[in-house]
Amino acid sequence: MTTLIIIAKECIPGRVKTRLHPPLTLQQAATLASASLSDTFRAVSELEASQRILLFDGNLLPLGSERYDVIHQVSGDLDMRLGAIFDECEGPTVLIGMDTPQLDAAILAPLFVEWPTDIDAFLGLASDGGYWTIAMAEPDGSLIRGVPMSRDDTGQLQLARLTEAGLRVRMLPELLDVDTIDDADRVAALAPHTEFAHTLASFRADSAIVEIAPTTAADPESNR
């Protein structure tokens, strides 16, 4: 059976999705981040995970986390935090972030049925150069620690770390992380049924709250 980890932080204004401000207010950015996390919980709710872990940075637990064992993130850079939780897990383990509310759980479902015997790890790249998911049959935090995070080559560096260690890696579809308002618009268009999309639309509808500048077309992808 497979362990599912969601890494998330408490959605406090000024602490999450600050690159959305402006044009969003800091409060709106935090509200949108909360909607993204809610959609993520909802998307993976039917996966047959043997254990669910919320790797959390914060105090007030979010709605939707009731089925999760909460483990607080260790101090340090993101690679240290990811490495620490992988060292705590045994057996097939899948980690995802909170920034892809458009996630279709069908992408991950095969990892929660029977882990393929010819695959040691899965990696899903994000369009900003990072990755939105990493999974290992035998979790090993040393394969993450030391990989530079939040760079446009993070995903490729992580892939190289896995393959150089002799792991057989299968790539999952690339997804768009929400970092900027253009990302938010594109994700909302991809998944108009989500709480994320409805929340963003509500901000646009209330011009007294925020005036969002027109967006330009960009390319998909992003995660950290």
**Percentage of the chain exceeding pLDDT 70:** 92
> Is 217 domain-assigned?
no
Q: Coil, strand or helix: which one is 70?
A: strand
Cα–Cα distance, 33 to 110 (Å, whole number): 27
Q: Structurally, how many domains does the chain consist of?
A: 1
> In this model, does residue 215 exceed pLDDT 80?
no
Q: Could you tell me the pTM of the whole model?
A: 0.91
Domain range holding 143? 2-205
The pLDDT tens digits of the residues spanning 165-193 come to 999 999 999 999 999 999 999 999 999 99
The domain that contains 72 carries what CATH number? 3.90.550.10
> Is 156 domain-assigned?
yes
What value, to the nearest 5°, has the Cα angle with vertex 130 and ends 72 and 159?
100
The count of other CB atoms within 10 Å of the CB of residue 152 is: 10
Q: At what angle do helices 195-205 and 26-43 cross, to 10 degrees?
A: 160
Q: Coil, strand or helix: which one is 67?
A: coil
Asked whether 84 and 139 are in contact (CB, 8 A), the reply is no
The pLDDT tens digits of the residues spanning 42-61 come to 999 999 999 999 999 999 99
Tokens of 39: 């959609």
Q: Coil, strand or helix: which one is 78?
A: helix
Q: How far is CA 45 from CA 5, 33, 147, 189, in A?
A: 12, 18, 30, 22
> Is 220 domain-assigned?
no
